[in-house]
Structure 1
Amino acid sequence: MMKSDINFRHLYYFWVVANEGGITRAAERLGLAVQTVSSQLTLLEQALGKTLFAQQGRRLVLTEAGRLALGYADQIFLLGEQMQEALNEFDSGRTRLTVGISDSLPKLSAYRMLEAVTRMDRPVRIVCYEDQFEALLADLALHKLDVVLTDREVRAGATLKVFSHQLFDSEMVVVGTPVLAQRYGGADDAFPQNLNGAPFLLPARNNALRGKIDEWFVQHHVRPDVVGEFEDNALLNTFGRRGLGLFFAPAALADDVAEQFGAVRVGLVPTVREQFYMISSDRKIMHPAVEAILAGSRKATPPAA
């Protein structure tokens, strides 16, 4: 057998043994004889030309090659399980859309970006995962996700075969609870100087929006009292709802922010804009829900975040 000719049944047995921690337990799970599983592992090792397990006392442990192979096997069989789930959902009349949501993305914005999917003729089951931007891109490249929603685009020259689609663009507003808005609001001609010393809740410094906000403060000679910095936008909004400080929100979501967080507008910041992107992978046949998201963003008037 050539080394490139992997028997995936043998690979599956290896994966089960590695996850069960031994051949005996794996054989019980598979409903096979211990000798059968052991011989299949031997055939896989011969095919790969690598030893995948080593005996350590009475235990089997993965070798370095085994740990490397397990990482790929995890991806292969996870995708296989997802494929089966997707096919089962197809029979039920639903389409499955697996979405990665960047932890810095406002949740209201994520909903707006996915709103077109909820209006499709064929029902869609939306499965959402939240994580850091880089981790989500890696999962997208491995086709564990259909799309990633985020507030930044993929850098030019990135090695991953993924593509950035800007869906929306919105100027920002400063908002806060009615008590804070009354204290630091006032006439438009006093804004933003009336924000000097005001308590602010800001995105963490690794957030794409934070640099724009800091630059705006410097340009207008405003020195805020930064009482909190957050990587998680939902947590920032929760603190804002409790009146711990003023915060920035997309102007297109001002009504939603007022309804959900009880925060009212203090002033408009047109020079600070936030962009919202959908990142897709390189596929010749585009997911119908992804097409709906792109079509929805083109029809949006005015642009909404």
Structure 2
Amino acid sequence: MNYKHLHYFWTVLRAGGIVRASEQLHLTPQTLSGQIKQLEERLGQSLLRKAGRGVEPTDAGRLAMRYADEIFALGASLQEALASGRDSRPAAVLRVGIADSVPKAVAFHVLEPAMALAEPPRLACHEGGLTSLLGELAVHRLDLVVSDVPAPSSLSVRVYTHLLGRSQLAFFAAPRLLRATSWTARRARQAFPACLAAMPMLLPGTPAALRPRLDAWLRQHALTPPLAAEFDDSALLKAFGREGQGFFAAPAVLADEIAQQYQVEWLGTADDLVEEFYAISVERRITHPAVSVITATARGKLFARHPL
């Protein structure tokens, strides 16, 4: 690959168009377009397409731009290191997609081991719906997706699901809610799960993978507490729980942390209600060093705290 041609392509996208880039590079627009065409022919992919009066990157162009950013940042770092006599290489970037329904605390603890590596990567975390994140993963815009459901078998792209671990669900309520419903924290724990019927509940929104299992568990135990609110954001749900607006469920693996952070009482744990967490990658056998330590630590440490 001709890296001068790659630099021309990179400059076009950074400058916002071929005309502006040609002025910066002191080339005619026709010459610049021809050089980028040669790069596309060499790579066997179209990198740019027309968009109104200008151009925009194709999917392959966005991928190439990501690599070009790192290549030319490394080149600038080399110049700085030679001038200063100090190694100033930028940290490698680990791009992680986090499904909306994954609790933020779980995502943090899953990713935390990567930051303890001798040469930790620079994390770039993106939150969104699982389908869109898997699309980004398939075209290598992400290195990893953390999810509470496996990748759908109907997916048209090839990705691989790796189980990180399982956690039972624990239930929590603020002391003010327990007082308001005439339950002391001690009595509530002894009466679990019957105590839940006397309190309003906060539930994840219907798109969440956990929601139908929670609904089924409540029916199974003949519990019909009033629904106070539903949330797509698990952190917002817990914030409402902290203020006594209702009881809520969260992974038991984080029970002590949640009780302390949100100042709530741990009412009990549902042994028959389990949430699972997955790492989804394009590798069948994980070789990426940061992803490898993430999966190994989650299985051997994080989720091993509360084995089922």
TM-score, scaled to structure 1: 0.78
How many residue pairs are counted as aligned between the two chains?
A: 290
Aligned partner (choices 158, 161, 185) of residue 158 of structure 2: 161
Deviation at 1:151, TM superposition (A): 0.9
Give the whole-Å Cα distance in 2 for the aligned partners of 1:296 and 1:43: 46
Deviation at 1:204, TM superposition (A): 1.0
Aligned to 2:261: 260
Summarize deviations over 1:279-305 as a string: whole Å, max 9, x none.
12127771111111222133223348x
Deviation at 1:131, TM superposition (A): 1.8
Aligned to 1:199: 200
Summarize deviations over 1:30-74 as a string: whole Å, max 9, x none.
4423453355578799999x99559xxxx7366xxxx7x634322
Aligned to 2:305: 302
Summarize deviations over 1:103-132 as a string: whole Å, max 9, x none.
211111112212332333333333322222
SS of the equivalent of 2:164 reads strand
Aligned to 2:53: 60
Aligned in 2, Cα 1:25/1:230: closer, same or farther, shift over 3 Å? Answer: same
Aligned in 2, Cα 1:61/1:265: closer, same or farther, shift over 3 Å? Answer: same
SS of the equivalent of 2:223 reads coil
Deviation at 1:207, TM superposition (A): 0.6
Instruction: Find out whether 1:119 has 2:112 as its counterpart.
Output: no
Please tell me whether the aligned partners of residues 10 and 40 of structure 1 are also in contact (alpha carbons under 8 angstroms). Answer: yes
Give the whole-Å Cα distance in 1 for the aligned partners of 2:117 and 2:35: 47
Summarize deviations over 1:130-183 as a string: whole Å, max 9, x none.
222112111111222221111111123433221111112111111121111344
Aligned to 1:105: 102
Q: In structure 2, give the amino acid aligned to 1:80.
A: A
Q: In structure 2, give the amino acid aligned to 1:77.
A: M
Instruction: Find out whether 1:36 has 2:37 as its counterpart.
Output: no
Aligned to 1:27: 22
Instruction: Find out whether 1:281 has 2:276 as its counterpart.
Output: no
Please tell me whether the aligned partners of residues 165 and 277 of structure 1 are also in contact (alpha carbons under 8 angstroms). Answer: yes
Deviation at 1:82, TM superposition (A): 4.1
Aligned to 2:239: 238
Summarize deviations over 1:179-235 as a string: whole Å, max 9, x none.
113445434563333322522221111111001100011112212222221222122
RMSD: 3.7
Give the whole-Å Cα distance in 2 for the aligned partners of 1:46 and 1:147: 30
Structure 2: 5+ residue stretches without partners: 79-86
Aligned to 1:216: 217
- Map residues 172-191 of structure 1 onto 2, 5 A cutoff: 172-184=169-181, 185=183, 186-188=187-189, 190-191=191-192
Aligned partner (choices 125, 129, 134) of residue 137 of structure 1: 134
Deviation at 1:245, TM superposition (A): 1.8
Aligned in 2, Cα 1:166/1:182: closer, same or farther, shift over 3 Å? Answer: farther
Please tell me whether the aligned partners of residues 97 and 128 of structure 2 are also in contact (alpha carbons under 8 angstroms). Answer: yes
Give the whole-Å Cα distance in 2 for the aligned partners of 1:37 and 1:251: 58
Please tell me whether the aligned partners of residues 93 and 122 of structure 1 are also in contact (alpha carbons under 8 angstroms). Answer: no
Please tell me whether the aligned partners of residues 21 and 60 of structure 1 are also in contact (alpha carbons under 8 angstroms). Answer: no
Structure 1: 5+ residue stretches without partners: 1-5
Aligned in 2, Cα 1:187/1:181: closer, same or farther, shift over 3 Å? Answer: closer
Q: In structure 1, give the amino acid aligned to 2:221.
A: H
SS of the equivalent of 1:128 reads strand
Please tell me whether the aligned partners of residues 105 and 150 of structure 1 are also in contact (alpha carbons under 8 angstroms). Answer: yes
Please tell me whether the aligned partners of residues 175 and 181 of structure 1 are also in contact (alpha carbons under 8 angstroms). Answer: no
Aligned in 2, Cα 1:22/1:166: closer, same or farther, shift over 3 Å? Answer: closer
Summarize deviations over 1:14-43 as a string: whole Å, max 9, x none.
786677665432322444234533555787
Please tell me whether the aligned partners of residues 133 and 150 of structure 1 are also in contact (alpha carbons under 8 angstroms). Answer: yes
Aligned in 2, Cα 1:28/1:224: closer, same or farther, shift over 3 Å? Answer: farther
Q: Sequence identity, in percent?
A: 36
Please tell me whether the aligned partners of residues 181 and 266 of structure 1 are also in contact (alpha carbons under 8 angstroms). Answer: no
Deviation at 1:271, TM superposition (A): 1.4
